[in-house]
Structure 1
Amino acid sequence: MSFKDLQLNKPLRRAVAEAGYDNPTLVQEKAIPAILDKKDVVVSAQTGTGKTAAFALPILQLLFDQQDAPKRGKKIKALIVSPTRELAVQIAKNFETYSTYTNLRTTVVFGGTSVEPQKDILKKGVDILIATPGRLLDLHKQTALHLDQVEVLVLDEADLMLDMGFIDDVRKIERLCPTEKQTLLFSATIPHKVEDLAKTILNNPERILVAPNASTSKKLEQLLYYVPKRNKIELCLHLLRNTIKGHIIIFRRTKFGVSKLEQTLLKNGYKVDSIHGDKSQSARQEALNKFTKKEVNILIATDVAARGIDIDSLDAVINFDLPNIPETYVHRIGRTARAGQTGVAYSFCSADEKSYIKTIQQLISLQLDVIDDHPYPLDPKAKPIVHTSNKKSKHKKGRKGKGSKQKKKRWY
Structure 2
Amino acid sequence: MAVNLRAPEALIPIAGARWASTDAAIKKPGGDDMALLVLDEGATVAGVFTRNAFAAAPVALAKHHMACAAPRALLINSGNANAGTGREGEADAAACCARVAEELGLAADQVLPFSTGVIGEKLPMSRLDNAIPRLTRALDSHGWLAAARAIMTTDTVPKGASRRVRLEAGELTLTGIAKGSGMIRPDMATMLSFLATDAAVPAADLDLALHAAVGASFNSITVDGDTSTNDAAMLCATGAGAALDRDHPDWPVFVAALRDLMIELACAIVRDAEGATRFITLAVSGAADADEARQVAFTVAHSPLFKTAAFAGDPNWGRILAAVGRAPVADLVIDGVDIALDEVAVVAGGQPREDYREADAARVMSQPEFRVRIGLGRGEATATVWTSDLSYDYVRINAEYRS
With structure 1 as the length reference, what TM-score do the two structures score? 0.26
Larger Rg: 1
Q: Per residue, is there more strand in 1 or in 2? A: 2
Q: Per residue, is there more helix in 1 or in 2? A: 1
